[in-house]
A and B are shown apart, each in its own frame.
Chain A
Amino acid sequence: MGKTILEVRDLCTKYITRSHEDVYAVDHVSLSLEEGKSLGIAGESGCGKSTLALSLMGYYFPPLHYSSGEIIIDGRSITGMDPDTVRKTILGTEIAYIPQAAMNALNPTQRVIRFVEDVVRAHRPGTGKKEIYDMACARFAELGLPPEVLEKHSVELSGGMKQRTVIAISTILSPKVLIADEPSSALDVTSQKMVIKMLRSLMEKGYIKGMIFITHELPLLYNVTDDIMVMYAGQIVERNSARGMVFSPLHPYSKGLMGSIIVPEEGVREQKLTSIPGTPPNLKHPPRGCRFAERCAYVVPSCRHNEIPMLELEGGHTYRCGHSAQHLREMYQDEQK
């Protein structure tokens, strides 16, 4: 087992709406990431995965608020740190972020190099222009971007170029953990592959030590990450190795999520394509008991009353369901027939 570089314990964050209602978007999430590993987080849109990505950085601004839990990066707890210290010493240097909409992530009226300067100087004040330029050139070249890109405005770049530019800027200070929030969802298949390749190569070269990759497209995760976590209604419902998750999902929601996509792998391909009926619950008033109960095909009355804990199986496989693993597998097998 490698060194743990990111550990999150019972993290809870909430949105406070304009009408002063609380929306519990991230509810008691715990996770850990080892050096050299990558973790995928999957779920439908609105299940809280993007919010989790933002919450992991320990830097909150309205409407997102911290409520409880702890974040430990490389052995150092950042919970309770003064926000300005987090901004200066954690963001970008310890933990960095690639946003969902890379297309609009760059200020349209600013030259790329000016933004790189702002980012670098935010953490290393007084760094010279020349030094930053050289640094940027090297990292950009690493990602196959010519140095001319630095002198351009984002509007002059193509979609793929923008994507790579964003990746280059996010990793320019070699952060330990990189959180990529659906960085490829707006791209075509070829560009998606490119992005994933780049992120992997960045990790292999040691520019980043660990990666969290968020997406609603499970097949992408199978190719990219070592482990996969499935999120539903602000909670983690299952965590397993990528292979385990794709080929034998245990939680009914994970199974539903797998059933709704086509995986180009032997064995899985033969399965029927299904979709999960219904929509995720309103997190202003989360239901008691299992949050998936309303949509679950295997629901029993006790699901709606009892708080369901995370259960641990062998090999770090965890899940959150009222049924035992064996019972679930039996039910799935019955269905196959």
Chain B
Amino acid sequence: MKGYRRYFRKKIFWFLITLAASILLNFILPRLMPGDPVAAITARVAMGMNDASAVRRIYEEYARQFGTDKPMLQQFVMYLQNLLKGDFGLSFSQYPRPVADIISSAVGWTIGLQLPAIIVGWMLGNLLGALAAYIRKGFDRVVMPVSLFVSNIPAFGMAVILLVIFALRLKVAPISGAYAYDMIPNLSWAFVRSVFRHYQLPFWSIVLTAIGGQAIGMRSMSIYELNADYVKYSRFLGVPDRKIVGYVFRNAMLPQVTGLVLSIGTMIGGALVAEIIFSYPGLGSALLTGITRLDYPLISASTLIVTLMVLVVTFVLDVIYAFIDPRVKAAQFD
């Protein structure tokens, strides 16, 4: 543990820096809009509204929330204070529900869906990739082009295809939502069963999208490792093949963990859009609601939470990586 101190200190430092940067971006980007942002937002929200006092109310609500009448720095302090309190303001599309309330119910669904799906997709992809590299002939020739093609189907495309085949044609899965629409979330068996049934299609569409890319990466890594000097050396010392495959698999996995760290943001982005196809009540759908109903506080909060999720996952993966790759520890003494 002692040897890792420098590594962790560095990782925590970067976690905090990126966190600060994403909060800053979240604050500043909408304020860079040309003209009076509050007026612009109000104009869009109030499109088609005739009631002048309602428009006025909207304007004032935004002005209060943005604090546009105050200097930028003071606005930022206000923004931070609200963040610390977990106050993201009130939603405009579901007025007067607090955004924090909407987000907190969405986060659970998104994490519950995406985390297992990405992990399963990653593992299956690695397994297939390693098999393709090890078996090569035939298997490799079939698995590779198929993986390449499948990995290029965008997550939302996969979602639509699965939806049409399994929900509409074969009618073995429900079309949308996270549980039957006539149910109220509770801990009964019926509810859990319904959640499970609704879980399948979104889950597998994310898994299938993730598998291809991972399999391709793992295959090249494994081929690279199979040609490494230690493999040859172990072979000539008579170490049995299955042990060597173990070495190779483990070593090829390590860059795949790093690869996951680097691609997790893109993966989550794709999966959020897949959520929308199934009207899964996660952050993707919250984001869509925010965008289509011009609910700025909801958009701001959803994007911030998504970023936070990515930051935390990246950090956790970095920590795990430090323990499974001894090179990290060795680098401490350089």
- Consider the complex of A and B and state whether they touch directly, i.e. have CB atoms less than 8 Å apart: yes
User: Is B183 on the interface with A (CB-CB < 8 A)?
Assistant: no
User: Is B236 on the interface with A (CB-CB < 8 A)?
Assistant: yes
User: Is B230 on the interface with A (CB-CB < 8 A)?
Assistant: yes
Which listed residue, A96, A100, A155, A166, touches B330 by the CB 8 Å rule? Answer: A155
Given A155-B327, A156-B326: A97 touches B237 (CB 8 Å cut-off): yes
- For residue A109, give the distance in angstroms from its CB to the closest CB of chain B: 6
* Set of chain B residues within 8 Å of A61, measured between Cβ atoms: 235
User: Is A169 on the interface with B (CB-CB < 8 A)?
Assistant: yes
B238 touches A87 (CB 8 A): yes
Measured CA separation A104–B327 after assembly (Å): 13
Which listed residue, A92, A93, A96, A107, touches B230 by the CB 8 Å rule? Answer: A107
* Set of chain A residues within 8 Å of B194, measured between Cβ atoms: none
A155 touches B230 (CB 8 A): no
Which listed residue, B236, B329, B330, touches A57 by the CB 8 Å rule? Answer: B236
* Set of chain B residues within 8 Å of A123, measured between Cβ atoms: 238
Measured CA separation A42–B167 after assembly (Å): 71
B239 touches A122 (CB 8 A): yes
Q: Which of A100, A101, A104, A105 has the most CB of B within 10 A?
A: A105
User: Is B72 on the interface with A (CB-CB < 8 A)?
Assistant: no
User: Is B251 on the interface with A (CB-CB < 8 A)?
Assistant: yes
- For residue A301, give the distance in angstroms from its CB to the closest CB of chain B: 43
* Set of chain A residues within 8 Å of B233, measured between Cβ atoms: 97, 99, 105-106, 166
B236 touches A155 (CB 8 A): no
Which listed residue, A100, A107, A119, A166, touches B251 by the CB 8 Å rule? Answer: A107
* Set of chain B residues within 8 Å of A87, measured between Cβ atoms: 238, 240
Beta-carbon contacts of B231-256 to A below 8 Å, as 1s and 0s? 01111111110010001001100100
Measured CA separation A258–B254 after assembly (Å): 46
* Set of chain B residues within 8 Å of A169, measured between Cβ atoms: 237
Which listed residue, A90, A99, A110, touches B232 by the CB 8 Å rule? Answer: A99
User: Is B101 on the interface with A (CB-CB < 8 A)?
Assistant: no
User: Is A170 on the interface with B (CB-CB < 8 A)?
Assistant: yes
* Set of chain A residues within 8 Å of B230, measured between Cβ atoms: 104-108
Given A99-B229, A104-B229: A110 touches B239 (CB 8 Å cut-off): no
* Set of chain B residues within 8 Å of A97, measured between Cβ atoms: 233, 236-237
User: Is B190 on the interface with A (CB-CB < 8 A)?
Assistant: no
Measured CA separation A105–B309 after assembly (Å): 40
* Set of chain A residues within 8 Å of B17, measured between Cβ atoms: none
* Set of chain B residues within 8 Å of A106, measured between Cβ atoms: 230, 233
Name the residue on A nearest B330 (C-beta): A155
Number of residues from A at the complex interface, CB < 8 A? 33
Measured CA separation A57–B228 after assembly (Å): 19
User: Is B325 on the interface with A (CB-CB < 8 A)?
Assistant: yes
- For residue B90, give the distance in angstroms from its CB to the closest CB of chain A: 52
* Set of chain A residues within 8 Å of B327, measured between Cβ atoms: 108-109, 153, 155
* Set of chain A residues within 8 Å of B238, measured between Cβ atoms: 87-88, 90-93, 119, 122-123
User: Is A142 on the interface with B (CB-CB < 8 A)?
Assistant: no
B237 touches A156 (CB 8 A): no
* Set of chain B residues within 8 Å of A91, measured between Cβ atoms: 236-238
User: Is A118 on the interface with B (CB-CB < 8 A)?
Assistant: yes
Name the residue on A nearest B331 (C-beta): A155
Interface residue ranges of B207-266 to A (CB < 8 Å)? 228-230, 232-240, 243, 247, 250-251, 254
* Set of chain B residues within 8 Å of A105, measured between Cβ atoms: 229-230, 233
Measured CA separation A110–B254 after assembly (Å): 13
Interface residue ranges of A56-112 to B (CB < 8 Å)? 57, 59, 61, 87-88, 90-93, 96-97, 99-101, 104-110
- For residue B151, give the distance in angstroms from its CB to the closest CB of chain A: 25
User: Is A268 on the interface with B (CB-CB < 8 A)?
Assistant: no
B235 touches A107 (CB 8 A): no
User: Is A54 on the interface with B (CB-CB < 8 A)?
Assistant: yes
B237 touches A170 (CB 8 A): yes
- For residue B230, give the distance in angstroms from its CB to the closest CB of chain A: 5
* Set of chain A residues within 8 Å of B237, measured between Cβ atoms: 91-92, 96-97, 119, 122, 169-170
Given A61-B235, A97-B233, A107-B230: A118 touches B326 (CB 8 Å cut-off): no
* Set of chain A residues within 8 Å of B228, measured between Cβ atoms: 104
A156 touches B330 (CB 8 A): yes
Interface residue ranges of B114-153 to A (CB < 8 Å)? none
Interface residue ranges of A225-277 to B (CB < 8 Å)? none
Name the residue on A nearest B228 (C-beta): A104
* Set of chain B residues within 8 Å of A122, measured between Cβ atoms: 237-240, 243
Given A107-B247, A109-B251: A119 touches B235 (CB 8 Å cut-off): no
Which listed residue, A59, A90, A93, A153, touches B235 by the CB 8 Å rule? Answer: A59
Beta-carbon contacts of B290-334 to A below 8 Å, as 1s and 0s? 000000000000000000000000000000000011110110010
Q: Which of B236, B237, B324, B326 has the most CB of A within 10 A?
A: B237
24 CB contacts below 8 A, A to B, read: A92-B236, A96-B236, A97-B233, A97-B236, A97-B237, A99-B232, A100-B229, A104-B228, A104-B230, A107-B234, A109-B250, A109-B254, A109-B324, A109-B327, A110-B247, A118-B239, A119-B234, A119-B238, A122-B240, A123-B238, A153-B326, A156-B326, A156-B330, A170-B237
Q: Known pairs A109-B247, A169-B237; list 20 more (Cβ under 8 Å).
A: A54-B236, A91-B238, A99-B233, A99-B236, A106-B230, A107-B234, A107-B251, A108-B327, A109-B254, A115-B234, A118-B239, A118-B243, A119-B238, A122-B237, A122-B240, A123-B238, A153-B326, A155-B330, A156-B330, A170-B237
Name the 10 nearest CB pairs between A and B, nearest first.
A91-B238, A153-B326, A104-B229, A155-B330, A105-B233, A97-B236, A92-B238, A107-B230, A87-B238, A92-B237
